[in-house]
């Protein structure tokens, strides 16, 4: 049968190229024999990808998928809402691509989406991603909760790059799970790319403001803030847990996979718990 340009490549009703197969035999990955972690992250989010690469223990590899989200100019809550609508629209395709790597665990490499809708919305997303991926999932909300329970911290302060539309959802999640959010220090960054440009001085100042409310622990949300290696210095200075959410998520993923490696460089959570 002759195929015209319009017929090529030949596809099925769902858009798949005819003849496509999906081999699901699980071979042991030679570079990552202990596990392959699939990480979904928005296209403009460049920090979490590299910080999580730096956190890989020997024998673990990351497979990263960057789903489409515009580097939206942000001046009000509605701009963050547009970003979140793009995220919701593109997550399933991201999971579909990562599934072809036969990942052992899935990470949602942005924290904001994991808090949307408070407790109910967060757990609904978690179950949806688990079903779509066919493996267990780590995302910011539940990972942060597990970390806080690990150190018996109840009073929490948040440092975020966000506007109130995201922060309110995060507060609702934590308070709905029995924590007290004593303060939210929001940087109100003007785009996702600007989030990644925040200098250490500004992050230090934000953490010190948050600490003035006397929390048991401080969590930085927004995985595109470069905070993973700054957090340990602030922990030592303040004498309490100060965590980057990217570290918290990756710690949660490793522990969920039964990988108990402890190592320095990213703070007390992954070094001692």
- What CATH number should be reported for the domain holding residue 111? 3.40.50.12500
Residue 110 has pLDDT above 60, yes or no: yes
DSSP string of 94-150?
A: HHHHHHTTT-SEEEE--SHHHHTTHHHHHHHHHHHHHHHHSS-EE-HHHHHHHHHHH
133 and 46 within one domain = yes
Given a contact cutoff of 8 angstroms between Cβ atoms, the answer to whether 138 and 56 are in contact is no
% of the chain beyond a pLDDT of 90: 90
Sheet holding 105-108, edge to edge: 60-67, 35-42, 105-108, 137-138
Q: Which of 79, 114, 140 is the last residue of a domain?
A: 140
237 and 190 within one domain = yes
Q: What is the pLDDT of residues 112-152, one digit of tens each?
A: 999 999 999 999 999 999 999 999 999 999 999 999 999 99
Taking the C-alpha atoms of residue 186 and residue 120, their distance in angstroms, rounded to an integer, is 24
Q: Domain residues for 38?
A: 32-140
pTM score above 0.85: yes
Taking the C-alpha atoms of residue 18 and residue 3, their distance in angstroms, rounded to an integer, is 13
Q: Which two tokens stand for residue 270?
A: 């992954």
Q: Which of 140, 155, 177 is the last residue of a domain?
A: 140
119 and 47 within one domain = yes
181 and 117 within one domain = no
| Number of folded domains that form the chain | 2
- 213, part of any domain: yes
Q: Which of 123, 140, 157 is the last residue of a domain?
A: 140
Rounded to an integer, the average pLDDT of 227-246 is 98
Taking the C-alpha atoms of residue 271 and residue 168, their distance in angstroms, rounded to an integer, is 31
Taking the C-alpha atoms of residue 253 and residue 195, their distance in angstroms, rounded to an integer, is 24
pLDDT recorded at residue 19 = 87
How many angstroms from the chain centroid is the CA of residue 86? 16
pLDDT recorded at residue 257 = 98
178 and 131 within one domain = no
Q: Which two tokens stand for residue 216?
A: 């048991």
Given a contact cutoff of 8 angstroms between Cβ atoms, the answer to whether 107 and 88 are in contact is no
Taking the C-alpha atoms of residue 78 and residue 172, their distance in angstroms, rounded to an integer, is 19
134 and 167 within one domain = no
- 253, part of any domain: no
- 3, part of any domain: no
130 and 154 within one domain = no
83 and 65 within one domain = yes
- 18, part of any domain: no
265 and 163 within one domain = yes
- 6, part of any domain: no
61 and 134 within one domain = yes
Cβ neighbours of residue 190 closer than 8 Å, sequence gap 6 or more: 73, 74, 75
126 and 51 within one domain = yes
DSSP string of 163-187?
A: -HHHHHHHHHHHHHTT-EEEEEEE-
174 and 132 within one domain = no
Residue 111 has pLDDT above 90, yes or no: yes
């Amino acid at each position: 049968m002759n195929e015209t340009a319009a017929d090529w490549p030949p596809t099925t009703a769902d858009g798949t190229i005819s003849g496509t197969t999906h081999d699901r035999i699980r071979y042991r990955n030679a570079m990552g024999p202990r596990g392959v972690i699939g990480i979904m992250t928005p296209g403009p989010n460049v920090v979490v990808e590299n910080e999580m690469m730096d956190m890989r223990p020997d024998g673990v590899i990351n497979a990263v998928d960057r789903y489409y989200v515009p580097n939206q100019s942000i001046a009000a809550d509605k701009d963050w809402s547009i970003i979140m609508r793009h995220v919701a629209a593109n997550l399933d395709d991201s999971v579909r691509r990562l599934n072809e790597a036969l990942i052992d665990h899935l990470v949602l490499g942005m924290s904001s989406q994991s808090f949307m809708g408070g407790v109910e919305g967060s757990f609904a997303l978690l179950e949806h991603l688990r079903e779509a991926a066919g493996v267990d999932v780590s995302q910011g909300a539940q990972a942060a909760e597990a970390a806080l329970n690990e150190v018996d911290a109840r009073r929490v302060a948040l440092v975020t790059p966000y506007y109130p539309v995201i922060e309110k959802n995060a507060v609702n999640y934590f308070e709905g799970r029995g924590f007290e959010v004593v303060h939210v220090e929001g940087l109100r960054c003007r785009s996702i790319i600007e989030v990644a440009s925040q200098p250490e001085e500004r992050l230090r100042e934000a953490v010190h403001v948050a600490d003035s409310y006397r929390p048991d622990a401080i969590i930085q949300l927004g995985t595109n803030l470069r905070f993973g290696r700054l957090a340990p210095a602030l922990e030592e200075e303040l004498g309490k847990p100060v965590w980057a959410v990217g570290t918290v998520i990756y710690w949660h993923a490793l522990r969920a996979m039964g990988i108990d490696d402890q190592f320095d460089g990213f703070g007390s959570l992954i070094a001692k718990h």
